[in-house]
Amino acid sequence: MSTLGKEELTNAFTELGQLAQAQDTSIELVIVGGAAMVLAYAARLSTHDVDAAILSPKEARIVRALAKEVAGKRGWAEDWLNDSAKGYLVGISKGEVVFSAPGIEVRIPKVTQLLAMKLSAWRDDVDIADARLLLQQIPASSKRDIVWKQITPYLVTGRELKAQYAFWDLWESLYGDG
């Protein structure tokens, strides 16, 4: 699969919305991972797929079928829109809308939830760079312990300690101790 930049993502979402409207429905997605970093933060130029939680319609199979149709027209992998990051989603917070068109609304979670996901994953340089950028979105005047308390509800069970050490390291590299 080729990489998906901002233009490819917005065009695909527009088409997905049009297909939904043709079926008298509308789609609401919460995107995470690389797609969120591309659309909301311009943290990178592209991603390989769209990790999403489907909020509506309730029958997620409808969205999957429409996404498969979009993939076919574009020569993309059928799973370009998937829920493979669901293991890192602890609840779903509603952050800002990053894309809206007839038949579709695409949001990201709150920055604290995205940060919790990156801290819980902490796999590679990309996660570290993303976490750094996300932490910088939180006002620097905030206290470390207060920010940590905002992140903890979204941490993946069993990864809390790993995430806490990663958070402390990031905080110290950006703001010093405490």
pLDDT tens digits in sequence order for the chain, 178 residues long: 578 999 999 999 999 999 999 999 999 999 999 999 999 999 989 999 999 999 999 999 999 999 999 999 999 999 999 998 988 999 999 899 999 999 999 999 999 999 999 999 998 898 999 999 999 999 878 899 999 999 999 999 999 999 999 999 999 999 987 6
Instruction: Say what the pLDDT of residue 177 is.
Output: 75
Instruction: Say what the pLDDT of residue 61 is.
Output: 96
Instruction: Say what the pLDDT of residue 139 is.
Output: 87
Q: What is the residue whose two structure tokens read 């570290």?
A: 128
Q: Do you know the residue count of the chain? A: 178
Evaluate the CA torsion angle 158, 160, 161, 162 in order and state its sign.
positive
Instruction: Say what the pLDDT of residue 178 is.
Output: 61
Q: What's the count of helices (H) and strands (E) in the chain, helices before strands? A: 7, 7
